[in-house]
Chains A and B, each alone.
Chain A
């Protein structure tokens, strides 16, 4: 088996899983299993949310030189489907059901796999916002206002994604838009009874659910570096959303509105 090719495959798979939001131990475990297919005896993978460090070495005489790679990972998205599919590829490869070439091919296909179309993402953001308003005890009028707030948020996200705006600014603006629209609908057009529930529903699509849960799981598994950095990520995101909403509330307050 071509070691460099195997190494490249393990790194690509690990990078894909990590940038899709997989937990650290899952990436390390998957890479370890794949690298164990080589002839090297010592295999180690160290993964943090921002990079992958891997090395393989052999203790036997006149063996090949140790191999070591560092892969910087800058993209962080949430993509559960890619984690599941990448897991499946590694499972098939490690149980010898597919060859390395087929596995590399499958990974390449997965990388360019079609995701949900834009309109479905916009619809999902809108429905999530109104569903959370209802779930927290809002009435149907509140949900109606949340639909509008969620739709505005989805449109803003869509255009900001297209122009590749900074993720942090996007969250700040998202919080502000939700706050502004909710205040406008509730206080000026008098739609809905609970302004707080409309705003909470509206910001839920922005809340870092994956980072929180994955961070907790990382800390439990002993990956302290990853866990703490994910928790910091979640905390910064939450603070940005809250600042955006707070800015809208403050503007209304300054304009003489009663909060």
Chain B
């Protein structure tokens, strides 16, 4: 199947998944574009014969970084973009493969799929983590949390 169609489908997928997450119309279009961009990064990385882990990681970094930038421009929570845009790279395939292998009593395959699914989830988490480490808002928050709040009155 050609890649253009897949990226277009990724846009539709994140856009309509955004409706399921009850996102507002103003966020939906940008979040959809971001989701399509993330999937394009993922496919591009795969076509450079990088591993699934690395490709997922790159897509996760791309989506998280742009979500942080967009949320600062539009003064909205980062989640509003990030959750929707990251949805396409969440390992749905892996989940299905695990249950399929269990049903067909192919336990070695089930274990392989289990670990590859965990790996994909870890790649997404790593991407979010690295972007979060450089997010100025998150840094302020982290420093604030180190001491117990006391307000001068």
Nearest residue, chain B, Cβ from A241: B95
**Residue B56 interfacial (CB < 8 Å):** no
Say which residue of A121, A196, A213 sits within 8 Å of B19 (CB atoms): A121
**How far, in Å, is B53 (CB) from chain A's closest CB?**
16
Nearest residue, chain A, Cβ from B129: A220
Say which residue of B23, B75, B102, B124 sits within 8 Å of A80 (CB atoms): B23
Classify the interface of chain B: helix, strand, loop or mixed.
helix
**Residue A168 interfacial (CB < 8 Å):** no
21 A-B residue pairings within 8 Å (CB atoms): A21-B83, A41-B150, A43-B151, A80-B21, A80-B24, A81-B24, A84-B77, A91-B75, A115-B22, A128-B16, A131-B13, A131-B16, A135-B9, A203-B96, A204-B13, A204-B17, A204-B92, A207-B90, A222-B145, A242-B99, A245-B96
**Residue A199 interfacial (CB < 8 Å):** yes
Are B27 and A80 in contact (CB-based, < 8 A)? yes
Nearest residue, chain A, Cβ from B17: A128
Q: How large is the interface on B (under 10, 10 to 19, 20 to 34, 35 or more residues)?
A: 35 or more
**Residue A14 interfacial (CB < 8 Å):** no
How far does the alpha carbon of A223 sit from the alpha carbon of B99 in the complex, in Å?
A: 31
**Residue A137 interfacial (CB < 8 Å):** yes
How far does the alpha carbon of A214 sit from the alpha carbon of B86 in the complex, in Å?
A: 11
**Residue A22 interfacial (CB < 8 Å):** yes
Contact with B along A197-216 (1 / 0, CB 8 A): 00110011101011011101
**How far, in Å, is A22 (CB) from chain B's closest CB?**
7
Known A-B contacts A81-B22, A249-B103; the reply to A210 vs B83 at CB < 8 A is: yes
Say which residue of B77, B96, B103, B153 sits within 8 Å of A250 (CB atoms): B103
How far does the alpha carbon of A200 sit from the alpha carbon of B98 in the complex, in Å?
A: 12
How far does the alpha carbon of A44 sit from the alpha carbon of B150 in the complex, in Å?
A: 9
Contact with B along A175-205 (1 / 0, CB 8 A): 0000000000000000000001001100111
Neighbouring A residues of B87 by C-beta, 8 Å: 207, 209
Are B128 and A79 in contact (CB-based, < 8 A)? no
**Residue A229 interfacial (CB < 8 Å):** no
Are B77 and A87 in contact (CB-based, < 8 A)? yes
Are B77 and A245 in contact (CB-based, < 8 A)? no
Neighbouring B residues of A253 by C-beta, 8 Å: 103-104
**Residue A48 interfacial (CB < 8 Å):** no
Contact with B along A30-42 (1 / 0, CB 8 A): 0010001001111
How far does the alpha carbon of A217 sit from the alpha carbon of B86 in the complex, in Å?
A: 13
**How far, in Å, is B152 (CB) from chain A's closest CB?**
8
Neighbouring B residues of A19 by C-beta, 8 Å: none
**How far, in Å, is B83 (CB) from chain A's closest CB?**
5
B36-95 contacts to A (CB < 8 Å): 39, 75-77, 79-80, 82-84, 86-88, 90, 92-93, 95
